[in-house]
Amino acid sequence: MSRIKACFEQLQSRGRKALVPFITAGDPSLDATVPLLHTLAENGADLIEIGIPFSDPMADGPVIQLADERALANGVTTIKVLEMVREFRKTNTTTPIILMGYLNPVEIYGYAQFARDAAAAGVDGMITVDMPPEASKPLNDEFAKVGIDSIFLIAPTTLPARIEKIAAAARGYLYYVSLKGVTGAANLDVEAVQQKLETIRKITDLPITVGFGIKDAATARAVGAIADGVVVGSALVNLVAQHQQDLTTLKANIAETMRSLRQGLDQV
Amino acid sequence: MALNERDFLNTPDELGNFGPYGGRFVSETLMAALDDLEAIYNKLSKDPEFQAAFDKDLAHYVGRPSPLYHAERWSKQLGGAQIYLKREDLNHTGAHKVNNTIGQALLAKYTGKRRVIAETGAGQHGVATATVAARLGLECEVFMGWDDIQRQSLNVYRMKLLGAKVTPVHSGTKTLKDAMNEALRDWVTNVDHTFYIIGTVAGPHPYPMLVRDFQCVIGREARQQCLNQTGKLPDALVACVGGGSNAIGLFHPMLADASVKMYGVEAGGLGVATGHHAAPLNAGRPGVLHGNRTYLMEDADGQIIPTHSVSAGLDYPGVGPEHSWLKDCGRVNYVAINDDEALAAFRKLTLVEGIMPALESSHAVAYAEKLAPTMAKDQIIIVNLSGRGDKDIHTVAKLDGITLG
């Protein structure tokens, strides 16, 4: 059983919702990422999403755009991202790691090689933001060979026929984008999310996490009440931007925010 | 690869693929809007009423057909083939871009969306979009890289006079590619009431197809005008390629005419060998950006690298997917012209023919200068003069050390 599947089964058996933090690899520095991953895991993360920086992150808002620019300026590469995962796995063998990024860096790496290297490093899943299910078979097949789950986004604009197509290609869990917009936007509508989740649940049994616009304990609680998990990205990456000069303060702030999110989610 | 008409005449397929290029690589939020656009376009493109409305606007608003002008004095000086200029610079708003914005504005009107957005590099597409938006009473916002705003201030002011909001883009390299990222972000956010008018034959399916179809009026006219004026088809076509919409518009209606050689001219910048250029077909490799798979300027890790060209409209790291396919098929030759060669051609055509080309089109002019002397005097080259050079006077004056008021 994949680490992701095991994680969600365990959460469900305990009646708990998944807290899924996101940080960008190599931000604020190459050395900071592994310690930050441990901070996340030690303060309530059930799964962790790691952003592979891209020069043209067209689905991301300003917070993650700047994180990508900082990380690329630090010299992060796809190989270095995989090395970070390998390093994290030396002491943490349980927390699922999901990479999130754009197709081009994966394409240039080579699908088969990337899948093998990512699996060897300890990656459990991958969200390729700009790869629709229609074009996903070549990469998905390589991921399937090595046991990496392909995780897909569903949007408020996705119609039921497409949800079926996406669910058929997806493994691990589905990521529901809570709003029409880019990452870090503010206009979360919980009722609309709930309606859409009901539609999705009629089509698939895969766990559904919800992201985009979840920034604090209150929004985490509200969304946690209707989803299987919540993804928190820009709120954490904002902290990285604020405290980029001081890793100790940064870790303390991340830990505090994570504990607060966890408390919010555990009230569900 | 052997030349096979079927490979490049019936493109794209239903998924938007031109051979291995094209497609629809965007985040899920946009997929429904692209499905809708494709369905609307497939319906309207076969609708005689829609085509009649498009043709009427091209005739009476744009001023088509644009002339095919025999540049006799210039041809004589070069001492080779006869050069004819397809005068897209004489269109309303001063470039070929308006052919496409007229078409997409008609689509926008049909969808009932009240707001249009666009990305722009040199500002020509922004101006053409602001123009059609003004005419239809649509709200218009144009995204433009901060660096391009500095070098194309005239067009920025034109857009504002036309009632458009011009939003500077400060991310990334602050040029056309970043403007396109920002336009896509805006579209994701406002997809319910916004129509995205893409300015070139790139982006997710169906844009490369529909922009091409709207621009094909250039090649259809040029082919017929050449037959009328000379009794034969041209021997060669020359057009500049950034995203490649003016080039595909000229080339596509003659792809099946096997005797017509085609040259797409990319921006060589400081020289392709220096790495400071915008010539992905000459020196890039295939990848995925802005919704399509195509040749790109990228580093070993798949990050898009900064481009350089004296002309803002060619300063783009990608290219329309159909050009990538035509390159691989061997049907079109893709060459590069450096900044200094383009600037020299800008001055030359202005002095010899009294026609001031845009710096983008000057790349095609410069290549024709190299090509013509290698051909016989009874042979014909058509150069797509895709835009006029008024917008570039500040750039050229600055290079001359002159400050204009």
Q: Which residues of A219-252 are buried (b: 16+ CB within 10 A; e: fewer)?
A: bbbbbbebbbbbbbbbbbbbbbeebbeebeebbe
Classify A61 in phi/psi space as left (phi over 0), alpha (psi -120 to 50) or beta: beta
What are the angstrom distances between the C-alpha of B115 and each of A18, A185, A186, B56, B108? 39, 21, 22, 23, 9
Strands annotated E in B164-221 = 165-169, 194-196
The type of residue at A193 is V
* Residue tagged 């798949």 (tokens): B302
Active site residue B386: yes
Q: Could you tell me if A166 lies within 8 Å of chain B, comparing CB atoms?
A: yes
* Beta-carbon separation of B28 and A158 below 8 A: yes
What's residue A236's pLDDT? 97
Torsion sign over Cα B280, B282, B285, B287: positive
Average pLDDT, chain B: 95
Catalytic residue among B38, B75, B86, B119: B119
Could you write out the three-class secondary structure of B205-218?
CCHHHHHHHHHCHH
- Helical packing angle, A247-266 and A33-42, nearest 10°: 30
Average pLDDT over residues B197-202: 97
Confidence of residue B2 (pLDDT cuts 50, 70, 90): very low
Fold of A3-262: TIM Barrel (3.20.20)
Domains of chain B, first to last: 16-56+97-211 (3.40.50.1100), 63-94+216-399 (3.40.50.1100)
Residues of B with Cβ-Cβ distance to A132 under 8 angstroms:
24-26, 28, 31
Confidence of residue B231 (pLDDT cuts 50, 70, 90): very high
Give the distance from CA B243 to its chain's centroid: 6
What's residue B270's pLDDT? 98
The type of residue at B172 is G
Three-class DSSP category at A214: coil
* Beta-carbon separation of A157 and B290 below 8 A: no
Which DSSP helix (H) or strand (E) runs through B158?
Answer: helix B153-161
Give B107-116 pLDDT, tens digit per residue.
Answer: 999 999 999 9
Q: Which residues of B262-287 are buried (b: 16+ CB within 10 A; e: fewer)?
A: bbbbbbbbeebeeebbbbbbbbbebb
* Beta-carbon separation of A56 and B191 below 8 A: no
What's residue B404's pLDDT? 81
| Cα gap B323→B328, rounded to integer Å | 9
| Cα gap B202→B212, rounded to integer Å | 10
Contact A48, A81 (CB under 8 A): no
What are the angstrom distances between the C-alpha of B184 and each of A67, B254, B313? 19, 33, 19
Q: Could you say which of A69, A130, A180 has the minimum Cβ distance to residue B189?
A: A180
Could you write out the three-class secondary structure of B13-53?
CCCCEECCEEEEECCHHHHHHHHHHHHHHHHHCCCHHHHHH
Could you write out the three-class secondary structure of A131-191?
CCHHHCHHHHHHHHHHCCEEEEEECCCCCHHHHHHHHHHCCCCEEEECCCCCCCCCCCCHH
Higher pLDDT, B133 or B9: B133
Average pLDDT over residues A168-175: 97
Residue B1 has pLDDT above 70, yes or no: no
Give A76-129 pLDDT, tens digit per residue.
Answer: 999 999 999 999 999 999 999 999 999 999 999 999 999 999 999 999 999 999
- Nearest C-alpha neighbor of B51 from the set B180, B161, B213: B213
Beta bridge partners of B165: B141
Residues in chain B: 405
Residue B3 has pLDDT above 80, yes or no: no
Residue B380 has pLDDT above 80, yes or no: yes
Which DSSP helix (H) or strand (E) runs through A210?
Answer: strand A208-211
Give A130-143 pLDDT, tens digit per residue.
Answer: 999 999 999 999 99
Residues of A with Cβ-Cβ distance to B190 under 8 angstroms:
180
Give B59-100 pLDDT, tens digit per residue.
Answer: 999 999 999 999 999 999 999 999 999 999 999 999 999 999
The 10 Å Cβ neighbour count of residue A10 is 12
Residue B278 has pLDDT above 60, yes or no: yes
The 10 Å Cβ neighbour count of residue B376 is 9
Among B13, B21, B27, the residue to mutate for chain A (most A Cβ within 10 A): B27
Q: Cite the active site residues of A.
A: 49, 60
Contact B304, B289 (CB under 8 A): yes
Q: How far is B83 from chain A (nearest CA, A)?
A: 40
Which DSSP helix (H) or strand (E) runs through A24?
Answer: strand A18-24
Q: What are phi and psi of A112, to 5 degrees?
A: -65, -45
Average pLDDT, chain A: 96
Chain A with chain B: Cβ pairs closer than 8 A = 119
Whether the bond into A28 is cis, omega within 30 of 0 = yes
Residue A37 has pLDDT above 60, yes or no: yes
For the sheet with B115-120, list strands across it.
B165-169, B139-145, B115-120, B194-196
Give B293-321 pLDDT, tens digit per residue.
Answer: 999 999 999 999 999 999 989 999 999 99
What residues in chain B have their Cβ under 8 A from chain A's Cβ atoms?
Answer: 15, 23-33, 171-172, 177-178, 180-181, 184-185, 188-192, 285, 287-291, 296, 298, 300-305
What are the angstrom distances between the C-alpha of A5 and each of A164, A166, A171, B135? 20, 18, 9, 56
* Beta-carbon separation of A77 and B301 below 8 A: yes
Write the DSSP assignment of A54-114 as a string of letters.
-S--TT--HHHHHHHHHHHHTT--HHHHHHHHHHHHTT-SSS-EEEEE-HHHHHHH-HHHH
Beta bridge partners of B263: B238, B333
What's residue B376's pLDDT? 98
Beta bridge partners of A98: A49, A125
Average pLDDT over residues B5-30: 89
Q: Which residues numbered 32-91 in A keep a CB inside 8 Å of some CB on B? A: 54-62, 65, 69, 72, 77-78
Residue A209 has pLDDT above 60, yes or no: yes
Residue B151 has pLDDT above 90, yes or no: no
Give B154-172 pLDDT, tens digit per residue.
Answer: 899 999 999 999 999 999 8
What's residue B120's pLDDT? 95
Residues of B with Cβ-Cβ distance to A103 under 8 angstroms:
25, 288
Residues in chain A: 268
